[in-house]
Amino acid sequence: MKIKKIIQLFILFSFICFFSYKVFAGTLSSDIDGIDDNRYPQFKNMINSLKQTYPNYNFQVYYTGINWQEAILREYQGHYSEAPMNLFKKGDNYAGMWYCPICGLRTYDNGLNCASREAIEYMMDARNSLNNDSVFQFKTLETPDVTYLDISNIVNGKGAFINNDEAKSAIYDASVEHNVNGYYLVAKIIAEHGNNGTSLTSGTYPGFEGIYNYFNIGSYGNGTDAIIRNGLEYARKSGWTSIRESIRGGAKIVKDLYIGRGQNTSYYQKFNVADVDASKLFTHQYQQNVLGAENEGRILKSYYGPTANHTFIIPLYENMPANASPRPDTSKSNSYSYEEARVNVNAGSSLKVRATPAGIEIGKLNSGESIKILERAKSLVNGLYYDLVVSNEDGTYGYAAREEGGKVYLLGNGVIKTDTVGGGSTTGPTTPPPPPPPIVNNIPCLQPNTITIEGTNINLSPDVNFDKLSTYLTDSTFNIVDKNENPVTEGILCTGYKVYIDENLYTIVKKADVDGNGKITINDVVKAFNHIDTNSKIKITDPAQLKASEVKANGGNTSITDIVAIFNYVAISMGL
């Protein structure tokens, strides 16, 4: 399976090795009996049960200090982009609830699908792997505990690409040189290329003759050819012109940039929760395959006899559920409900996306960006409502403030939709949603879904109608009346209408609606022009209409630039 590899350079680390010691952002401990059952349910009993059955197994636990739901959210990223963080290959055992409902059936990286939150929870919850079949994904890899003969024995019967003297010698030498488990190096190569190798290990791919990439580093893209070419181009730049150089060079990268920086198990290389640099957590992950760590662990286990000694490091998270996360049901569809919305912040600024309500920042949403609101907050956190959202543009997923200081940041259309995927029927998107419509004039107050409160005025962009303003005022008691004090309960809104909000009175100023009829036409251009024409006696006297003509924020005076902007808006609306 071809998986995107992300390679970055980072600083090295040092730590003190003893019975219990502090490393990175968390704490590593050998005291299994000291695990708090209330905070980390089931772990103590499951680990002790394995130790009793396999006395040659040694265990440590790593207290990550990371909230469980935060960890899941930070792994559930990259929707619609070319690189979701977790992918899977569909099959009889991987269908239904394994599918991410946001991405639907869209494929990535040579036919893989985006994994659901449920799938990520199942694979990240170590309790599901505390059994002899899956536990080897937690085996520490910093031990060159195998010989050249051991390596020769396990590759016997494999393809010629690895069952040859050059490859076997390179694997053994790299294991000793870099203090890395030799079986692990074999397992990683087999997991990447299968038993018989691929074009990346053949040395014969057209245009890349004599170039090898045994660890698949830099191999990414949509389509087989793109994956192969990117991987071999990386290998060529790295000077991997022989099997030996590819294995030794790849092993050095794995050691220096993964094992040597705290990602010293297959689990940590897939789910980076133990990085030397806390700011890099949930990045710098070796592969996108959500099953990758488990697959490597099972291959690794198959190489050892029953009496070999092993040390496993088990990750613990804060606020984990009382029971192990269930395996996604392949017979059920996965679905999600959402409301289409747009980000309403000042032009050139952005809105922070957080891992938890009021938590750490993990991304940004730009002004005018198209998003989906997945869950509306029902309670305040630090004085704000944080809604769960996903960007329709780059797939950023997390919590964003709905409003602050009277300004609404997330302008929803008020229509709740539900998409379903898996279980034999799919109504959700198989491709990313279309990009948002272009912003006319690039003028902040004319951007769609723009609502701001300025003194006793509520400024609206031309598209804002009763339903959109109602969404904005969801948490307030309000009434809207027209210029004759008649109630308004639907349809378009006009400059000069009044809004009573929690007993406070505001006047609607619909930008560019200069004549106050709610529609932006050439009449608005003419009325604004007459107002500034020194030869005209027809002036705007209504304060709301005057404010409606000021679309360029020129210090409170209508000018020719305002008129040009309104004219351009009308022209674009007419398709001219």
What is the tens place of the pLDDT at every residue in 334-392?
Answer: 999 999 999 999 888 899 999 999 999 999 999 999 999 999 999 999 999 999 999 99
- If phi > 0 it is left, if psi is from -120 to 50 it is alpha, else beta; for residue 348 that is left
Please give the mean pLDDT across all residues of the chain.
86
Q: Among 369, 358, 489, which Cα is nearest to 435's?
A: 369
In 10 A of CB 242, how many CB atoms?
Answer: 16
Q: Residue 563's closest CA among 517, 530, 516, 518?
A: 530
Which token pair is 328? 């996604």
Separation CA 149–CA 564 (nearest Å)? 81
Residue 110 has a pLDDT of 73
**Average pLDDT score over residue span 110-114:** 87
Contact at 8 Å (CB) between 141 and 187? no
**Among residues 560, 537, 535, which one has the least CA distance to residue 550?**
560
| 282 closest CA partner among 346, 347, 355 | 355
Q: What is the pTM of this model?
A: 0.67
β-pairing verdict for 457-460 and 504-510 = parallel
Would you say residue 467 has pLDDT above 90? no
Tokens coding 179 = 């203090």
Q: What residues pair up with 417 in beta bridges, in sequence order?
A: 338
Q: How far is CA 43 from CA 71, 199, 261, 310, 486, in A?
A: 18, 43, 26, 18, 65
Question: CA nearest 515: which of 564, 560, 548?
Answer: 548
Coil, helix or strand at residue 397? strand
The CA-atom distances, in angstroms, between 472 and each of 208, 340, 478, 554 are: 58, 14, 11, 27
Which residues make beta-bridge pairs with 60? 313
Does pLDDT of 281 surpass 90? no
Residue 155 structure tokens: 């590759």
Distance CA 243, CA 226 (A): 22
Q: How far is Cα 550 from Cα 548, in angstroms, rounded to an integer?
A: 5
Q: Where do the domains of the chain lie? A: 23-140+265-332, 145-263, 334-421, 444-573
Is residue 159 classed as helix, strand or coil in its secondary structure?
Answer: coil
Structural tokens at position 276: 């030397």
The pLDDT of residue 449 is 80
SS3 27: strand
Is the pLDDT score of 439 beyond 50?
no
* Percent of all residues in the chain with a pLDDT value above 70, rounded to a whole number: 90
Beta bridge partners of 311: 58
Q: What is the CATH number of domain 334-421?
A: 2.30.30
Round to the nearest angstrom and report the end-to-end CA distance of the chain: 51
pLDDT score recorded for residue 16: 26
Q: What is the mean pLDDT of residues 240-253?
A: 95
Q: How confident is the model at residue 5 (pLDDT cuts 50, 70, 90)?
A: very low
For β-strands 504-510 and 498-501, DSSP reports them as: antiparallel
Encode pLDDT of 61-72 as tens digits. 999 999 999 999
Identify the weakest region by mean pLDDT among 162-176, 324-338, 454-468. Answer: 454-468
- Sign of the torsion angle spanned by Cα atoms 392, 393, 396, 401: negative
Which of 203, 218, 191 has the alpha carbon at shortest distance from 164?
203
DSSP one-letter code for 135: G
